[in-house]
Amino acid sequence: MTIKKGLVAKGFLALATAAVLFSSAVSAKTLRYANQGDLKSLDPYTLNETTTNAHLANVYEGLVKRDRNLNVVPALAERWETPEPTRWRFYLRKGVKFQNGEDFTADDVIFSADRLRAPGSNHTTRVPKDAKFVKIDDHTVDVILGVPNPILLNQWEYWMIVSKKWAEANGSAAPTPANATTPSYISLNANGTGPFKIESHQPGVKTVFKPNAGWWSKPEHNLDEIIFTPIASDATRVAALLSGEVDLIEPVPIQDIQRVNSASNVQVLAGPELRTIYLGMDQTRDELLESSVKGKNPFKDKRVREAFYKAIDIETIKTRVMRGLSTPSALMIAPELFPLSKDFVRPKFDPEGAKKLLADAGYPNGFEVGFDCPNDRYVNDGPICQAIVGMLARVGIKLNALIQPKAQYFAKVLKPNGFKTSFYLLGWTPNTLDSHNVLYDIIGCRDDEKSARGETNLGGYCNKQLDGLTDQILGETDATKRNAMIKQAFQIAYDDYAYIPLHQQALAWGVSKTLKMAQRADNAITFGWIMKD
Amino acid sequence: MTIPPPSAGPTSSGDSLWSRIMAHDLTYLFFRSPLTVVAAVLSVAIILAALMAPWLASMDPFDPAQVFLADANIPPVWQDGGDPRFVLGTDDQGRDLYSAILYGMRVSLVIGLSGVALAATIGITLGLIAGYVGGRVDAVIMRVADVQLTFPAILIALLVNGVVQALSKGTSRETWAFGVLILSIGLSFWVQYARTIRGSTLIEKNKDYIHAARLVGQPTPLILLRHLLPNVIGPVLVILTINLGLAIITEATLSFLGVGLPPTQPSLGTLISIGNKYLFSGDWWIVTFPGLTLAIFVLSINLIGDWLRDALNPRLQ
């Protein structure tokens, strides 16, 4: 009998242990989160893309950061002052440690400033090329600018500070370019100062974040672990949310918003997004890389660009592909970010006019051209591109669409690979929340080697008058005058058909009702603001 | 075990081809199995519909100029909001589903048939060589085959696809997806043919007629093709039929996974994959109709294949 009793007791013990284990597993707050795309690289300078930036901002930090209302607040810099318009003095926070235990000092800031502006970085426009960084002491840095820049800090949230010692010790002193074929150490490992650290990262499979116990500030979350999984398939992602397999998805496919809202355990956090989706055309090469037209570049002819613009039926894209959840745009910036946006109206959809323009330009039978498009980056990006293929086909243009995941897409079209595209779809949220960034980074000429202007101007549109205005806008502090100049600059791009803006998309996050979280209008998911029941 | 070659069969000069077919054992067995008859009728109907797609369809779904986004996501005609122009409804780009299925079936069939033909050619050639030559050649070919058998066909297809995608940097999927799918299917299905042919060859090669051919001094390729091949080809017919179904499913799977045909040239698998996105939003028709077509067609082919296997097996009669 004793043996039996022993067994029974052991059984109870085992049950009790299991119960304890189980309950501790439940009380540990794990956030399971799925996004349609993955982090392209853990190197915070490889790709200036909101998904990558926003996720890495949970791990790395800049001198400043943005709060829930997108205001700039101190982060690694405790405070700053501007003794002269071109000299900024930053007092760095003391006692901050990187996740590997090293101290954060002025050397890291100076190293990061150089690294950010080195070839291969996709963030070169964040810090002016001619800015000099001077170390005053271990926790004070002076930044000397060539020209005054009142909005300098607006773009520094995603200038993330990398540890000098750690990067150099691991052969990652130089930034990893977006088209790198072999991953660098820093593209697979992270060492920031932020509220979370990356415990493991398997590209395309999953990334596990854990809270950083040594963080310098007070956590505003109650999470013990975050398991991030990319799920590209819309239906699978929604199914995972509905079944409770994940707590959070981004984005909710717009066709499923109703379905998600009708479920009892989840809801959609929605709002307008500040991102503008647009089409760009290669206007620099003398012959397009991917086109049936040889010996000349049809996009250099303004009539061709105008024809492309007028061939696109944006309202049908809105009602059919976006199900009403988009705001057609005439500008390359969201109306929330530029008060005079309403003065611009999209040219009317006019396929007959487009055909005529093409005929006038010497292409009565149209032509063929390649079309680059991501399919896991923006809301319904693949279907939008397919729709555009159809709309242009009706004016005689045959688009050879290459619709692929963003990892391959960005590697092909960005600067490190030599802007290898003829016609492409891209989206942009100015991280400064200001028009200057759009005018400088997207619409500015990219012919000056010494400046970072036009870093993401993949088509290479160039207008020196516009560039001149952009420089004036940077230093102008009178809001009315500044807006008038911005309007003038956008008018130039508008008249030149420099780009074809499509729309601002809507934000839609699928959130389990066990979560309380804040939604930022730039679509950045901040783990540090999530409370889980 | 094998069907007697036509020349060896008893023929009287007065019989027409039709009466010879009708009098054949296979024909008799065929009509005795109603299920097979139904399967055959369905397969033939689907194949004919696919072949005549340009005449039966109301639009060319591969021509972007004929697809209007304003017609997207229209339900089938019998449902509220249906449109008589689109009997089975439309997909997310405004393609008529009925036309898209016809054209998609065509794509699936061409890829399936070509893939199987490629697999059979590779498999039969290697099987004949391995069986007839023997020795090291046999060992090498059959070990490669064994290794390949340990991988699922879909994995090999994915591998071929990945390699070509990496090599074709920057060119549009539409230009190469077709050929790659055929190649993937061909390279993943050849093993069965090789093993079957090799087995039969091992038996046949020691028979007197082969010895005789060799003694007469005929060159080896001629012996293989003229004498050996007709006598070992029987079982291959069964594999061919069953493999056709498998090949079409493989093509659909690859397209569903996004590594097959692009959404601008939808095959049945691509259509199902598009429809899958709309499962939760209630647009059930996009996934259902292509899925049903695929299921019915593959089931029919497999039923025919099963029947053929039994019919050609003398032990079951």
Spatial separation of the C-alpha atoms in residues A76 and A109, rounded to whole Å:
10
Judged against a pLDDT cut of 50, whether residue B30 lies above it is answered with yes
Range 264-293 of B in CB contact (< 8 A) with A: 264, 276-283
All residues of chain B having their beta carbon less than 8 Å from the beta carbon of residue A420 are 170
* Predicted pLDDT at A181: 83
Name the burial class of residue B49, with classes exposed (0-12), middle (13-18) and buried (19+) by CB atoms within 10 angstroms of its CB: middle
For B99-108, letters b (16+ CB in 10 Å) and e give bbbbbbbbbb
Three-state SS annotation for A19-77: HHHHHHHHHCCEEEEEECCCCCCCCCCCCCCHHHHHHHCCCCCCCEEECCCCCEEECCE
Tell me what pLDDT residue B169 has: 65
Residue of A nearest to B279 (CA): A235
**Residue A8 burial class via C-beta count within 10 angstroms: exposed 0-12, middle 13-18, buried 19 and up:** exposed
On average, the pLDDT of chain B sits at: 86
Closest CA to B32 of B260, B307, B316: B307
Phi then psi dihedrals of residue A517, to 5 deg: -150, 160
Say if residue A299's pLDDT is above 70. Answer: yes
Tens-digit pLDDT profile for residues B99-118: 999 999 999 999 999 999 99
Look at residues A93, A78, A64, A67 and name the one whose alpha carbon lies nearest to residue A151. Answer: A64
Per-residue model confidence (pLDDT) at position B14: 55
Q: Do the chains contact at A316 and B63, CB–CB below 8 Å?
A: no
The residue that leads in pLDDT, A397 or B311, is: A397
Q: Which residues pair with A427 in a beta bridge?
A: A277
Least confident of A162-171, A374-383, B7-16, B103-112: B7-16
Average pLDDT, chain A: 90
Q: What is the pTM of this model?
A: 0.82
Query: Given pLDDT bands bounded at 50, 70 and 90, which one contains residue B171?
Result: low
Among the listed residues A474, A424, A480, A483, the one whose alpha carbon sits nearest the alpha carbon of residue A453: A474
Instruction: Name residues 143-202 of chain B within 8 A of A (Cβ).
Output: 169-175
Per-residue pLDDT at B238: 85
> Which residue from A256, A392, A401 is facing B264, i.e. has the nearest CB?
A401
Nearest residue in chain B measured CA to CA from A240: B280
* Least confident piece of the model among A13-27, A516-530, B109-123: A13-27
Q: Taking CB atoms and an 8 Å limit, are A390 and B68 in contact across chains?
A: yes
**Tokens found for residue A2:** 């004793």
User: Do A129 and A450 contact (CB within 8 A), yes or no?
Assistant: yes
Q: Are strands A225-230 and A368-374 parallel, antiparallel or unpaired?
A: unpaired
* Cα torsion through B310, B311, B314, B317, rounded to 10: 90
Query: Which residues is B86 bridged to in the sheet?
Result: B83
ipTM: 0.76
Is the pLDDT at A484 greater than 80, yes or no? yes
- Edge-to-edge strand list for the sheet holding A132-137: A77-84, A87-92, A140-144, A132-137
Cβ B281–A259 below 8 Å, yes or no? yes
Domain boundaries, chain B: 114-316
Assign A353 a pLDDT band (cuts: 50, 70, 90). very high
B55-93 pLDDT per residue, tens: 999 889 888 888 888 888 899 999 888 888 899 999 988
Task: pLDDT band for A21, please (50, 70, 90 cuts).
Answer: very low
B243 touches chain A (CB under 8 A): no
DSSP 8-class letter at B59: S
Q: Please tell me the predicted confidence (pLDDT) of residue A498.
A: 96
Superfamily of domain B114-316 in CATH is MetI-like (1.10.3720.10)
DSSP conformation letters of A440-467: IIISS----TTS-TTTT-TT----HHHH
Q: A229 pLDDT band (50/70/90 cuts)?
A: very high
Q: Is 90 exceeded by the pLDDT of residue B25?
A: no
- Answer whether A279's CB lies under 8 Å from A371's CB: no
With 90 as the cut, is the pLDDT of residue A15 above it?
Answer: no
Q: Which amino acid is at A49?
A: E
User: Is pLDDT of A11 > 60?
Assistant: no
Banded model confidence at residue A531, pLDDT cuts 50, 70, 90: very high
- pLDDT at residue A3, as a whole number: 47
Domains, in order of start, for chain A: 272-506 (3.10.105.10)
Give the number of A-B residue pairs with CB atoms closer than 8 Å.
85
